[in-house]
Amino acid sequence: MTERKRVTAPNSKRSGSDMNKVDAYVLTKEDYDEIPELTDEWFKRAKWHIGGVPMPRGRPKSDSPKHAVSLRLDDDVVAHFRRGGRGWQSRINAALRKVAELPAVKRKKG
Tell me how far apart the 2 most distant CA atoms of the chain are, in Å.
94
> Residue 78: in which H helix or E strand, if any?
helix 75-82
User: pLDDT per residue over 34-85, tens digit each?
Assistant: 888 889 998 888 888 888 888 887 888 888 888 999 999 999 999 999 999 9
Q: Residue 75 phi/psi, 5° resolution?
A: -55, -40
> What pTM does this model have?
0.45
Q: How far apart are the first and last CA of the chain?
A: 63
Instruction: Give the pLDDT band (50/70/90) at residue 19.
Output: confident
Amino acid, single-letter form, for residue 82: R
Question: Residue 9: is its pLDDT beyond 60?
Answer: no
